[in-house]
Amino acid sequence: MSVSSGDAVEAGTLNLTGPLVLRATANARNSFLAEIMGLMEAAEGGRALSRCHPPRG
pLDDT value, residue 21: 86
pLDDT value, residue 52: 60
Contacts of residues 35-39 at CB distance under 8 Å and 24 or more positions apart, as own/partner, are none
Alpha carbon 46 to chain centroid, angstroms: 22
Residue 54 has pLDDT above 70, yes or no: no
CA–CA dist 37, 48 (Å, integer): 13
Of 50 and 8, the one with more pLDDT: 8
Residue 26 has pLDDT above 80, yes or no: no
Per-residue pLDDT tens over the stretch 2-18: 888 888 887 778 888 88
Residue 25: pLDDT band with limits 50, 70, 90: confident
